Amino acid sequence: MSIRIVLADDHKMILAALRSMLEKEKDIAVVGDAADGAALLELVARTEPEIAVVDVGMPGMNGIEATQRLIAGRPGIRVIALSAYSDKRFVLEMLNAGAKGYLIKASAGDELPRAIRAVAQGQTYLCPEVAAVLVDAARGKSMLQVNTAAKLGRRELEVLVLLAEGKSSSVIAARLHIAPSTVEVHRRNIMRKLDLHNVAELTRYAIREGLTSA
């Protein structure tokens, strides 16, 4: 039941070091390594790993392009980015390319195994420096929803979110421990206040306001 991973980095010594470090972890199996993007694609096609640990700054096909192609060709695979620095553009592009984790090489030694386990479980793992970069990038991307909280009550907000998630009135009623008819009243009030007329518009509104993600 070990996690099958592959490594990609243009520095052979780093590959060797990573491999020896990860071989101490019983639940992680390194099934191959590659020195550039093209070799990585071939390696992944052959070994079918769950996770690829990819250096961002490789010559030839870099980590970003390699990640895009990797995920396009094998949507199930999860990519952890490894980089020398937490450069903002690299971070954003790698994460947009679909990387689920991002570590810098200065991270503590036990962060890579921890990141691998977290990502294998479907979580997102960012090292502190990268988290700080993201926080910085997200600065100013809030503030848009004040009209929602102003117009809707707390309960109505809850109902709105659940409706936008595709739950039916009866399911929502069970979840909130209230009668289905009450859920429908909330729904109607929400629609009246926001001038929406069906679940699709309601869902789009919730996503637009950041109440739920797509």
Partner DNA sequence: ACCCCACTACCTATATCCCGGTATTGAAAT
Partner DNA sequence: ATTTCAATACCGGGATATAGGTAGTGGGGT
Among candidates 33, 40, 41, which has minimal Cα distance to 14? 33
Judged by CB under 8 A, which of 26, 76, 109, 141 binds its own copies? 141
Check: CB of residue 66 under 8 Å from CB of residue 57.
no
Indicate whether 156 belongs to the interface with DNA (CB under 7 A): yes
Tell me if 70 contacts DNA by CB under 7 A: no
- Work out what residue 208 binds among DNA, its own copies, none; the CB cut-off runs from 5 to 8 Å by kind: its own copies
Q: State the helix-helix crossing angle for 169-176 and 180-194, rounded to 10 degrees.
A: 110
181 binds DNA (CB under 7 A): yes
Given 11, 98, 161, 182, the residue binding DNA (CB under 7 A): 182
Q: Where are the alpha helices (DSSP H) in 1-127?
A: 12-22, 37-47, 63-73, 88-97, 111-120
Which of 15, 49, 56, 186 is in the footprint of DNA by CB under 7 A?
A: 186
Region binding DNA by CB under 7 A among candidate stretches 77-85, 119-127, 134-142, 173-181: 173-181
User: Among candidates 124, 62, 135, which has minimal Cα distance to 93?
Assistant: 62
Whole-Å CA distances, 199 to 43, 79, 152, 160: 45, 35, 17, 10
Letters for 29-68 (x = contact with its own copies by CB under 8 A, - = none) are: ----------------------------------------
- DSSP SS3 for 149: helix
Residues that bind its own copies (CB under 8 A): 72, 75, 87-89, 92-93, 95-96, 118, 123-126, 128-129, 131-143, 145-147, 163-168, 196-204, 207-214
